[in-house]
Chain A
Amino acid sequence: MKLTLLLPLLAFVALGVLLKSGIGKDPTLVPSPLIAKPAPAFDLPLLADQEQRLTRDDLLGTRYLLNVWGSWCPACQVEHPYITELAEGGELPVYGLNWKDEAGEAKRWLDYFGNPYRANLYDPSGRTGIDFGVYGAPETFLIDADGTVLAKHVGPLDAQIFAETFAPLLTAEPES
C-alpha cells in the first residue's frame, strides 16, 4: 500500500479529532484578552451618590469581584441571590458596575432585590464597559490587589462556576 494513498484517510482522522474537540463547547463564549493584564483604568461616579467618584487606583490593595449588571437584565436577577451570598460571606468584596442603566431604575432594582455591593460604579454610557470588554451582562471579573485581572466569567454566576473559575485563583496569597 502506498503511503500517499493513506494521506486522505489521515487528514480525515485529524479532522475528526478536531471536530470532536469542538463538541459540547459553547462557541459563543469569547475569552477576555484582559486576563493577567492590568484592569483598565476607570473613574466613575457612584450609583448611590453621583457626586462621589471611584477610580481603579482607589481599589488597589484589595482583591475584589467586579460584577457587571443592569436592571434591564433578566439573567442578573438569576444570579443575584448568589452574588448576595458571596458578598455576605465577606471573604471577597463585591463591587458592582451598573452598566448602561438609568440611575432611578437601578436604585429601585437594588431596593427591591437587595443591595449586596460594597459600592456601585455608574456607567450609563457603557464606555467603561467597553474598556472592560463587556459584551453582555451579567459578567464578573476577579481583580487582584495589584489591579491585575485574574479571571472573567460571562453569564450568571453560581457556586459551581465560582468554584471552577475563581476559587482556584484565590488560594494564592494576594500581593500587596
Chain B
Amino acid sequence: MKREILDRLLAAKAAAIPAALVTDLSSGLQTLVYEDTVHGGFGLEPDLLDEVRRRIRQDRSGLLVDPQDEDGFRLFVHVHNPAMRLLIVGAVHIAQALAPLAALTGYDVTVIDPRGSFATEARFPGVKLNHLWPDEALAELKPDVRTAVVTLTHDPKLDDPALIAALRSAAFYVGALGSKRTHALRLDRLRDEGLSEAEVKRIRGPVGLSIGAVTPAEIAISIMGQITCVRRGENHPC
C-alpha cells in the first residue's frame, strides 16, 4: 500500500467518511473511492465506479469481477465505513456495563442523560456523554441505518421522547428496558402520542435476548446479543 493511499485512508477513517479501497489483485495498484470523488493509482469505468459506491452503501466488501475482461481481471473492494453507533439513553448501572461491551463490539457509543449526577466521566470513563434531553439529543445525533438506540431509564419522561424520536428515525434497532407490564403501558402511551402500530412494534421490549440475565453485566450481554442478532442473524429469531 502506497504511503499516500494509506494516509488518505487513515484520514477518511478518522473523519468518519465512508470510503472504499479498491485493489487490483494482479498489479497491487490501489484507488480510493469516496461518495463524491476518486483518488489513486488507476481509473475505474463509470459502471464499476457505480458498483463500488453501491458496495459502500451496502457495507459489503468483496471481489468485483469485470464482466468485460475474460482474463480474470479482479478487483477487491474493501469498504471502510464509520463505526456502527449505539445511543444509550440513561446513564444507569446497566449502561455502565453496556457502554464498554458495545465499544468492544466495535460500536461508537454515546450515553445520553440530562441528569448531571448520572452521566459523569467518573461513572463512564472515556465514553461520549450527552447531557441534552433525549429527544433533543437524538435530533442532534440523527440515528441512521447504522445506529442502534436503547432506552434504560425506566422513566417515561426520559424514555418516551427518546423512543418517539428513535422510531421515527432509520435506526436499525430500538430497544427499551422494562418488564412486560411496563412495556405494555409504554406502548399504550406511545399510541396515545400518535405512533402507529407498525412503529411501536419496532421496539424490542422487554429489551435483550431471553437468556435469564440478572446482573447489569448479564443484561448488557443480552442486549448486545440482540443488537448483534438483528444486525447479523438473518434467519435467527432475535
Binding partners A and B: no
Binding site for A on B (CB under 8 A): none
Binding site for B on A (CB under 8 A): none
